[in-house]
Amino acid sequence: MAPAPFVAGVPLSTSVFKADIFKGKVLFCTGGGSGICRGMTEAMMKHGADAVILGRQINRLTKAAEELTKSTGRTCIPAQVDVREPKTLAAAVAKTIEQFGRIDYVICGAAGNFLSPISNLSENGFRTVIEIDTLGTYNTIKATLPHLRKSKGSYVHVSATLHYRATPYQVHVSAAKAAVDALSSVLAIEEGPHGVRSNVLAPGPVANTEGADRLSNKSNYLEMKQTLPLGRVGAIEDCANAGVFLFSDAAAFITGQTIVVDGGNEHLRTSYLPYPQAVLDPASIKDMIPAKL
- Binding footprint of ligand HXC on the chain (CB under 6 A): 111-114, 116, 122, 124-125, 128-129, 132, 160, 162, 173, 210-212, 215, 272, 290, 292-293
DSSP string, 186-225: HHHHHHGGGT-EEEEEEE-SBTT-HHHHHHS-HHHHHHHH
Q: Identify the burial level of 117 via C-beta atoms within 10 angstroms of its C-beta, where 0-12 means exposed, 13-18 middle and 19 or more buried.
A: middle
- In whole angstroms, how close is the CB of 107 to ligand HXC at the nearest point? 14
Taking the least distance from each CB to ligand HXC, the nearer of 187 and 239 is 239
> Which residue of this chain has its Cβ atom nearest to ligand HXC in the complex?
211
Q: Is 177 a known active-site residue?
A: yes
Q: Find the shortest distance in angstroms from Cβ 109 to ligand HXC.
A: 9
> From the centroid of its chain, how far is CA 67?
20
User: Cβ closer to ligand HXC: 170 or 255?
Assistant: 170
How near is the Cβ of 132 to ligand HXC at its closest, in Å?
6
Question: Of 192 and 290, which CB lies nearer to ligand HXC in the complex structure?
Answer: 290
Angle between helices 171-191 and 136-151 (to 10 degrees): 20
The answer to whether 159 is a known catalytic residue is yes
Pick 283 or 293: Cβ nearer ligand HXC: 293
> Who contacts 103 (Cβ-Cβ below 8 Å, separation ≥6)?
26, 28, 93, 96, 97, 144, 147, 148, 151, 153
Instruction: Calculate the alpha carbon distances from 65 to 17, 22, 76 in Å.
Output: 23, 18, 5
For the residues of 233-258, what is the DSSP string, one character each? -B-HHHHHHHHHHHHSGGGTT--S-E
- Rounded to whole angstroms, the Cα distance separating 195 from 187 reads 11
Q: Residue 177 CB, nearest distance to ligand HXC (Å)?
A: 7
Q: CB 71 → ligand HXC: shortest distance, Å?
A: 22
Which residue in 25, 177, 184, 198 is the catalytic one? 177
Catalytic-role residue among 116, 154, 159, 174: 159
Q: Which residues are catalytic?
A: 159, 177
